Amino acid sequence: MLSNKLAQALNNQINVEAASSQVYLAMASWAEVQGLEGVASFMYEQSDEERQHMLKLVKFVNERGGHALVPQLDAPKADFGTFRDMFQELYDHELKVSASINELVHIALEERDYATHNFLQWYVAEQIEEEAQARTILDKINLIGNDKGGLYLFDRDIQQLTVNSAASDNPQ
């Protein structure tokens, strides 16, 4: 059974994951309108993943005797400036999510809830992966600079990244 404090912290994380899904959806839509199809598919995929992260938490909270609450969300912004700004924002956003997961792990330990602590390790690993991916993408963007041909190739490469990650999520 979850303590009230932990149930509240997990509900807060549900909010964070849901908000992430919305932000990445807004990024996908913006990129699509800019004609960056590869970047748009990548962001649609990120948005779906965040929704899965949220659902996993919802089910866990309810399974452990809490009540998962569906949060009200603010609309994310619609314009992301340049695509470099957008990926910088994605990276900064992931750092904040990691901090929030770390805080949650800390509370689980304080509450001596080892089942929740164990459950959260999946999120810890996921954040390491997502931070590393965002950093790699930012490095690539910095290499491209303002080169239009580079941007075209980048858009194609990132589409490939989406295809590969979808394939590794669904091993046949």
Per-residue contact track with ligand OFO, 48 to 87, x per CB under 6 A? Answer: --x--x----------------------------------
Distance CA 38, CA 46 (A): 12
Distance CA 26, CA 17 (A): 14
Cβ burial 130-164 (10 Å sphere, 16+ → b, else e): beebbeebeeebeebeeeeeebeebbeebbebbee
One residue of 60, 90, 94, 113 binding ligand OFO per CB under 6 A: 94
Count residues binding ligand OFO (CB under 6 A). 9
Per-residue contact track with ligand OFO, 2 to 21, x per CB under 6 A? Answer: ---------------x--x-
Is residue 89 close enough to count as binding ligand OFO by CB under 6 A? Answer: no
Residue 163 near residue 38 (C-beta atoms within 8 A)? no
Binding site for ligand OFO (CB under 6 A): 17, 20, 50, 53, 94, 97, 126-127, 130
